């Protein structure tokens, strides 16, 4: 009897062991992720302190910290390396899962397993390529006195962290078998690619694009798909071997301008959790709340004012969804219509300065940031007018808010003055050359931090804002870095000339360039994150625009406006999904209700294009 009893007990014992292992892995995973988030937040704090102190020393004491700029760049690379595992899950992974969601049960598991193969290949590339650079690179930083290889070691460490976090996550989900299979395939693909040398007359960029497209269709993290594609291209004649891929990625993220991104993200996070943003909303309500669709117009005006502070559409969407959605519904707006208004108005945050999208474009094309921000301000205000008209026409039966008295408006304006100070620091500081873009962003972040402390915001809430900004900055920085090798290979194969030749077939006129560029961007934006689309297609389309006599700054604004509109379009529709996640309204309902506002934004895009062609 005992042998039979023992035999019967084994499956239960095995299941219990699996559950215990999953729970243990989940606990360890939580500890590791919390630790990485804490370290990332501390690095962001150090970055803010370093840049702010150096600005104060330079402007008031005519001195500065030796090597401050290089130290800040190295810290930024460290932030990205330690935050690399963040790009595995959640919205920051930037996965295109619209196709995998349509797969029948069983095939979707296979797709998820193959997506992990891309992450494994990307991690191995970072580890191996980083190790090769470390072993080959000599010399010291002249300003920091530290070995140069340290900067490249951050990404090698990031690759190792990706493997650790992916292993713990699959163990926590009870998917160790899936992990074993995907790891085996990933290692095999990596080893075969390393030794393969396939002779072909086709350019390596074709295999680069095909591999990246496959990764996106399988819902692999976008940054990992870019890295894996760059590595696979080496088997087809790519001039970038492993160490060069990692080196190009590090060079792409080692720009002082890019430090403005985490600082502006921090501004948005601090504004969202503090009372400063609510003062903006109160002021907006006092100005337009009494008009038809007053509360909806208040949402729009708040978005315009919030845009001048945060530079993040996602931050504005989250703030609006939590602040205005309950009030809109309370005043008779259908939940889906209320959410659609919030999502549509949030588009303005990456158009009206400070704009993270324009910072990415400037980094990819070497545009003048000040000129971009000024043109973006004018374009954003024009888009706001178009949205105001659309709201006026679509909101008819909702009750109006009581008109504010002159005293109430004055008090609301005084309460909102601290928030208006952010716009002065950012726009005027950059436009008149008082400070650089990164310095303005750091001063804006420090200023917002002081406002949060003055408002007696809890220390845990402030630290949480640093954590959130650091996580987002790491994911965006990794995307910028991994797009570097991808863009380099496209440049080597002269893809921009192919586009120019095609435009020439259409006549080569400015109208042909604008039309073709908008069609390409409208299609690309459906399936590609805005940051990736800017990094990849900005340098490709720009030469054709310049050769056709189009002002490059105007063209850059059109590019960003076009791509930002895709925050409202399926299948990605990031702003729609953010609002859906906060409010609980189904994304499908939001997509239907956002159509009038999407149409208004497309009209504004068409009019901006016409203005560019005429003037």
DSSP, collapsed to helix, strand or coil, labels residue 66 as coil
Rounded Cα–Cα distance for residues 18 and 173 (Å): 10
Question: Which residue do the tokens 């934004």 mark?
Answer: 601
Question: Is residue 293 predicted with pLDDT exceeding 70?
Answer: no
Q: Are 549 and 510 in contact (CB under 8 A)?
A: yes
- Can you read off the two tokens belonging to residue 345? 């108005």
What is the rounded average pLDDT of the residues 532-552? 87
Question: Is residue 7 predicted with pLDDT exceeding 50?
Answer: no
pLDDT (tens digit per residue) in 406-415? 777 788 778 7
pLDDT (tens digit per residue) in 125-144? 999 999 999 888 878 888 88
Q: Are 125 and 140 in contact (CB under 8 A)?
A: no
- Can you read off the two tokens belonging to residue 551? 């002002």
Question: Is residue 510 predicted with pLDDT exceeding 70?
Answer: yes
Rounded Cα–Cα distance for residues 76 and 80 (Å): 6
What is the rounded average pLDDT of the residues 485-505? 79
The per-residue pLDDT for 2 is: 39
Q: Are 260 and 444 in contact (CB under 8 A)?
A: no
The per-residue pLDDT for 3 is: 41
Q: Are 346 and 567 in contact (CB under 8 A)?
A: yes
Rounded Cα–Cα distance for residues 592 and 231 (Å): 40
Q: Are 340 and 597 in contact (CB under 8 A)?
A: yes
The per-residue pLDDT for 386 is: 94
Rounded Cα–Cα distance for residues 512 and 500 (Å): 11
Q: Quick check: bond before 75 cis, omega within 30?
A: no
The per-residue pLDDT for 401 is: 64
Average per-residue pLDDT for the chain: 84
pLDDT (tens digit per residue) in 93-107? 777 777 787 888 888
Question: Is residue 558 predicted with pLDDT exceeding 80?
Answer: yes
DSSP, collapsed to helix, strand or coil, labels residue 397 as coil
Question: Is residue 419 predicted with pLDDT exceeding 60?
Answer: yes
Q: How many residues does the chain have?
A: 615
Question: Which residue do the tokens 């409010």 mark?
Answer: 583
273: left (phi over 0), alpha (psi -120 to 50) or beta: alpha
The per-residue pLDDT for 28 is: 93
Domain ranges in the chain are 15-254, 258-457+493-614
> SS3 for 220-261, per residue?
CCHHHHHHHHHHHHHHHCCCCCHHHHHHHHHHHHCCHHHHHH
Against a cut of 0.75, is the pTM above it? yes
Report the b/e string of 331-365 with b at 16+ CB within 10 A. Answer: eebebbbbbbbbbbbbbbbbbbbbbbbbbbbbbbb
Question: Is residue 5 predicted with pLDDT exceeding 50?
Answer: no
C-alpha triplet 557, 358, 509: angle, nearest 5°:
30
pLDDT band at 15 (very low <50, low <70, confident <90, very high): low
Q: What percent of the residues of the chain are helix, what percent strand, and what percent coil, each to the nearest 5?
A: 80, 0, 20
The string of DSSP letters for 467-512 reads: HHHHHHHHHHHHHHHHHHHHHHHHHHTTHHHHHHHHHHHTT--HHH
The per-residue pLDDT for 312 is: 65
Q: Are 284 and 301 in contact (CB under 8 A)?
A: yes
* Closest-CA residue to 597 (of 298, 343, 380): 343
Q: Are 70 and 143 in contact (CB under 8 A)?
A: yes
Rounded Cα–Cα distance for residues 224 and 216 (Å): 10
Q: Are 588 and 555 in contact (CB under 8 A)?
A: no
What is the rounded average pLDDT of the residues 43-58? 93
- Can you read off the two tokens belonging to residue 338? 């209320």
pLDDT (tens digit per residue) in 328-341? 787 778 899 989 99
Higher-confidence position of 570 and 506: 570
**What residues contact 480, with CB distance under 8 A and at least 6 apart?**
252, 253, 258, 360, 363, 531, 535
Q: Are 600 and 389 in contact (CB under 8 A)?
A: yes
The per-residue pLDDT for 294 is: 73
Q: What is the DSSP letter of 434?
A: S
Q: Are 281 and 399 in contact (CB under 8 A)?
A: no
Higher-confidence position of 207 and 582: 207
Q: Are 193 and 176 in contact (CB under 8 A)?
A: no
Distances (CA, A) of 447 to 192, 276, 362, 444, 456: 53, 12, 25, 5, 14
The per-residue pLDDT for 599 is: 95
**What residues contact 200, with CB distance under 8 A and at least 6 apart?**
236, 237
pLDDT band at 45 (very low <50, low <70, confident <90, very high): very high
pLDDT band at 261 (very low <50, low <70, confident <90, very high): confident
Higher-confidence position of 432 and 595: 595
What is the rounded average pLDDT of the residues 485-502? 80
The string of DSSP letters for 422-457 reads: HHIIIIIHHHTTSS-HHHHHHHHHHHHHHHHHHTT-
- Can you read off the two tokens belonging to residue 42? 């501390």
> In the chain, what percentage of residues exceed pLDDT 70?
90
**What residues contact 442, with CB distance under 8 A and at least 6 apart?**
47, 48, 51, 52, 55, 259, 260, 263
Element of type H or E holding 27: helix 2-60
pLDDT band at 582 (very low <50, low <70, confident <90, very high): confident
What is the rounded average pLDDT of the residues 574-581? 80
pLDDT band at 250 (very low <50, low <70, confident <90, very high): very high
Question: Is residue 575 predicted with pLDDT exceeding 60?
Answer: yes
Cβ neighbour number for residue 603 with a 10 Å cutoff: 14
The per-residue pLDDT for 17 is: 66
pLDDT band at 166 (very low <50, low <70, confident <90, very high): very high
Question: Is residue 181 predicted with pLDDT exceeding 90?
Answer: yes
368: left (phi over 0), alpha (psi -120 to 50) or beta: beta
**What residues contact 482, with CB distance under 8 A and at least 6 apart?**
122, 223, 224, 226, 227, 230, 249
What is the rounded average pLDDT of the residues 26-45? 92
Distances (CA, A) of 466 to 45, 271, 280, 404, 575: 7, 12, 22, 36, 22
Higher-confidence position of 521 and 501: 521
Return the axis-axis angle of helices 107-136 and 222-232, rounded to nearest 10°: 60
Alpha helix locations (H) across 493-572? 495-505, 510-527, 530-547, 552-565
């Amino acid at each position: 009897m005992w042998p039979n009893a023992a035999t019967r007990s084994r499956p239960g014992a095995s299941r219990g062991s699996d559950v215990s292992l999953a729970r243990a892995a989940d606990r360890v995973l939580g500890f590791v992720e919390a630790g990485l988030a804490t370290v990332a937040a501390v690095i962001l704090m150090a970055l803010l302190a370093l840049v702010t102190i150096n600005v104060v020393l330079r402007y008031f004491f005519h001195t500065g910290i030796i090597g401050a700029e290089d130290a800040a760049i190295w810290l930024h690379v460290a932030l990205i390396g330690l935050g690399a595992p963040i790009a595995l899950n959640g919205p920051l992974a930037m996965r295109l899962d619209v196709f995998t969601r349509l797969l029948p049960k069983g095939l979707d598991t296979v797709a998820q397993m193959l997506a992990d193969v891309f992450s494994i290949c990307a991690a191995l590339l970072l580890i191996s390529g980083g190790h090769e650079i470390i072993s080959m690179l000599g010399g010291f930083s002249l300003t920091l006195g530290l070995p140069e290889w340290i900067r490249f070691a951050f990404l090698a460490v990031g690759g190792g962290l990706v493997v650790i976090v992916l292993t713990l996550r699959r163990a926590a989900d009870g998917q160790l078998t899936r992990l074993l299979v995907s790891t085996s395939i990933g290692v095999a693909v990596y080893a075969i690619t390393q030794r393969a040398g396939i002779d072909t007359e086709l350019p390596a960029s074709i295999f680069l694009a095909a591999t990246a497209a496959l990764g996106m269709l399988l819902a692999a993290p976008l940054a990992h798909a870019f890295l894996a594609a760059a590595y696979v291209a080496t088997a087809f004649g790519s001039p970038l071997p492993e160490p060069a891929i990692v080196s190009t990625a590090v060079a792409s993220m080692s720009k002082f301008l890019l430090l403005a991104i985490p600082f502006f993200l921090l501004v948005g996070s601090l504004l969202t959790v503090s009372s400063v943003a609510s003062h903006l909303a109160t002021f907006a309500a006092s100005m337009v709340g009494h008009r038809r669709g007053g509360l909806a117009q208040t949402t729009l005006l708040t978005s315009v004012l919030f845009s001048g502070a945060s530079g993040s559409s996602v931050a504005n969407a989250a703030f609006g969804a939590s602040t205005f959605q309950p009030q809109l519904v309370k005043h008779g707006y259908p939940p889906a219509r209320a959410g659609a208004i919030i999502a549509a108005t949030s588009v303005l945050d990456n158009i009206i300065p400070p704009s993270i999208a324009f910072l990415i474009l400037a980094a990819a094309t070497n545009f003048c940031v000040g000129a971009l921000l000024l043109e973006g301000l004018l374009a954003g205000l024009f888009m706001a007018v178009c949205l105001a008209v659309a709201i006026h026409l679509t909101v008819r039966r909702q009750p109006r808010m009581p008109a504010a008295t002159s005293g109430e408006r004055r008090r609301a304006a005084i309460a909102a003055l601290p928030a208006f100070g952010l716009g002065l620091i950012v726009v005027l500081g950059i436009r008149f050359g008082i400070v650089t873009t990164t310095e303005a962003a750091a001063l804006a972040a420090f200023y917002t931090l002081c406002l949060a402390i003055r408002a007696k915001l809890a220390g845990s809430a402030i630290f949480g804002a640093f954590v959130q900004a650091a996580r987002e900055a790491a994911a965006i920085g990794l995307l910028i870095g991994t797009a570097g090798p991808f863009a380099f290979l496209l440049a080597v194969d002269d893809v921009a000339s192919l586009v120019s030749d095609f435009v020439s077939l259409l006549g080569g006129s400015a109208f042909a360039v604008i039309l073709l560029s908008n069609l390409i961007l409208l299609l690309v934006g459906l399936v590609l994150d805005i940051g990736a689309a800017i990094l990849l297609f900005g340098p490709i389309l720009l030469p054709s625009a310049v050769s056709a006599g189009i002002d490059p700054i105007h063209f850059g604004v059109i590019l960003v406006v076009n791509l930002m509109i895709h925050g409202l379009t399926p299948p990605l529709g990031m702003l729609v999904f953010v609002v859906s996640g906060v409010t609980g309204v189904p994304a499908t309902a939001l997509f239907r209700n956002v159509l009038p506002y999407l149409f208004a934004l497309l009209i504004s895009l068409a009019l901006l294009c016409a203005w560019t062609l005429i003037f």
